[in-house]
Amino acid sequence: MAVGRSDTLQELITILETMFGETIIGSDINLVKHLFYSLKADQREFPFDYEGEKLTSVVEEVSEDTLVLYVPYLQPKGILRAKISFEILNILYQFEVVLLDFWEDHVRVKIPSELQAAAFRKNLRVAVDDLFMNYVILYRSLSGGERELGKNLSVEQRFFHLMKEIKKDNPSLKLINLMVTEYILGISRDYEIVFFGPGKDGGFFGDFIKKYNRPVYVPDCSLIKSYIGEEKDPYLDNFRDEYIHLIQTRGQAKADEFFRELQKEEVRNFLISYIVTPIRLFNDPIGYVKVFSTAMDKFSIVQQQALYIEELGDILTYALTKVYIRQENFRNEKAVTRILDISMNGLLFEIEDERTFNYLKQHNIIKMFIPISERNLVLRGEVVRFLEIGTGKYQLGVNFFDANPDDMVFLQHYIFSKKMRILFE
């Protein structure tokens, strides 16, 4: 047995030895290996802390004295140590591991020869099979993830009333549409908002948006280089990638002819400049906003105005996705949100919608509404665990950080009564 253990850790090992017997616990390496075999069998994700960077890992292989971990986006930094932590049977474990080899999002580590840190959870999780919840994403930034202070503060100030509506639990799409229209009219009275659907494919612009899923900006319709030139705007794209694609598939002459005809048609329609930006649901294009100026307007849409419209498109995308998750998503059987277990610290829930699962990896701050008996608990938390089961089901773990008054007390009573029923069954 290893030396230098804390009293708490030694007490834990004594309890485990009592529970499981000396054959497994008598050697730390055997216990540790069994822990990793359990993680591999469940394909459970757990944190991988490498030089202050929080990554997610999965055990792919357990050998005699090494592990192979799959760690997406892992970049070697010359440091050969990392910290990992995970929970099994309501016991939290933490190890510092030695890194032996790196390759293509994989790392081989040495299996720790002893237990390093472990503790029983203060709040046990209780398995449930009769709890469901609704939830709404809470705003952190338009792109999710860490709050981008510079960009998002300016967006919130520029579109103050629109963002105020979007941050509500149940934003009004009708009001959002009116606000977006008002903001567009501040740039130009000439605009189109197109949604794809039966009989509405959006034409050339619709095909372009579906294919490239990004905005396109033409600052001067009288110049062919605005369409296909290499010297495009540093922040906004033109049609050059599509032009190169046409050259490769149909030849130089056909590609030149196509964009010359497109330019002539737009000049005949008196277009001076325009910006087309996608409208998305999750990350899938479902339409676009086109704002343009004509010869009658006697002005061009400049870069700052084009970026303004692009931000409006991002805001509209966020609003539509938030409303879909909050309302429409729950009319679909595959999006039913079932709670698997719950404690005073958090819960584990399951969904069957892949788009929602991937979206929550970025927009992971959520507000949950859980009906229990006569009360509707309102809890706020951060989604910290993502697990793809492989049968079209996805599990997500949430840590609570806030709740409505007295809701945690009610939850404590619920968990206690649930545990008591389990004990007496």
Q: Is residue 14 part of a domain?
A: no
- Residues 228, 156 share a domain: yes
Please name the residues in contact with 287: beta carbons below 8 A apart, sequence gap of 6 or more: 193, 194, 195, 196, 202, 278, 279
For residue 263, give every residue at least 6 positions away whose Cβ sits within 8 Å of its Cβ, in sequence order, or none.
221, 224, 227
Tell me, yes or no, whether 2 lies in a domain.
Answer: no
pLDDT at 221: 95
Per-residue burial over 260-283, b = 16 or more CB atoms within 10 Å of its CB, e = otherwise:
eebbeebeeeebbbbbbbbbbbbe
Query: Which residue would you say has higher pLDDT here, 23 or 377?
Result: 377
| Edge-to-edge strand ranges of the sheet holding 271-281 | 191-195, 284-294, 271-281, 216-218
Same domain, 165 and 289: yes
**Structural domain includes residue 38:** yes
HEC secondary structure over the chain: CCCCCCHHHHHHHHHHHHHHCHHHHCCHHHHHHHHHHHHHHHCCCEEEEECCEEEEEEEEEECCCEEEEECCCCCCCCCCEEEEEEEECCEEEEEEEEEEEEECCEEEEECCCCCCEEEECCCCCEECCCCECEEEECCCCCCCCCCCHHHHHHHHHHCHHHHHHHCCCCCCHHHHHHHHHHHHHCCCCCEEEEECECCECCHHHHHHHHHHCCCEEECCCCCCHHHHCCCCCCCCECCHHHHHHHHHHHCHHHHHHHHHHHHHHHHHCCEEEEEEEEEEECCEEEEEEEEEEECCCCCCCCHHHHHHHHHHHHHHHHHHHHHHHHCHHHHCHHHCCEEEEECCCEEEEEECCHHHHHHHCCCCEEEEEEEECCEEEEEEEEEEEEEECCCCCEEEEEEEEEECCCHHHHHHHHHHHHHHHHHHC
Q: What is the overall mean pLDDT for the chain?
A: 84
The answer to whether the CB of 126 falls within 8 A of the CB of 342 is: yes
Residue 1 lies in a domain: no
Q: What is the pLDDT of residue 328?
A: 62
Domain containing 369 equals 127-138+334-424
Domain at 396, CATH number? 2.40.10.220
Residue 6 lies in a domain: no
- Sequence-distant (6+) residues with CB within 8 A of 44 are 38, 58, 59, 86, 387
Give the lowest-confidence range in 15-19, 61-65, 388-392. 15-19
One-letter amino acid identity for 74?
A: L
Q: What is the CATH number of the domain that holds 73?
A: 2.30.110.10
Residue of 15 and 224 predicted with greater confidence:
224
| pLDDT tens figures, 185-206 | 999 999 999 999 887 777 899 9
pLDDT (0 to 100) of residue 2: 43
Q: Is the pLDDT of residue 42 over 80?
A: no
CATH code of the domain covering residue 169: 3.30.450.40
Is 10 a domain residue?
Answer: no
Q: Are residues 245 and 370 in the same domain?
A: no
Q: What does the pLDDT read at residue 14?
A: 62
User: Are residues 303 and 166 located together in one domain of the fold?
Assistant: yes
Q: Are residues 67 and 133 in the same domain?
A: no
- Dist CA 413 CA 406 (whole Å): 11
Percent of the chain exceeding pLDDT 70 equals: 84
Q: Is residue 68 part of a domain?
A: yes
Per-residue pLDDT, 218: 95
* Residues 407 and 360 placed together within one structural domain of the fold: yes
How many independent structural domains does the chain possess?
3
pLDDT in tens, 301-341: 999 999 999 999 999 999 999 999 887 655 555 446 889 99
| Range in 33-37, 411-415, 417-421 the model is least confident about | 417-421
Do 197 and 318 share a structural domain?
A: yes
State pTM to two decimals.
0.70
Neighbours of 225 (CB within 10 A): 12
Same domain, yes or no, for 218 and 354? no
User: Are 26 and 77 part of one and the same domain?
Assistant: yes
- Calpha distance 254→248 (Å, rounded): 10
pLDDT on residue 417? 82
Within this chain, do residues 230 and 269 fall inside the same structural domain, yes or no?
A: yes
Point out the domain boundary residue: 329, 348, 376. 329
Same domain, 321 and 362: no
Asked whether residue 215 is domain-assigned, the answer is yes
Question: Do residues 38 and 172 share a domain?
Answer: no
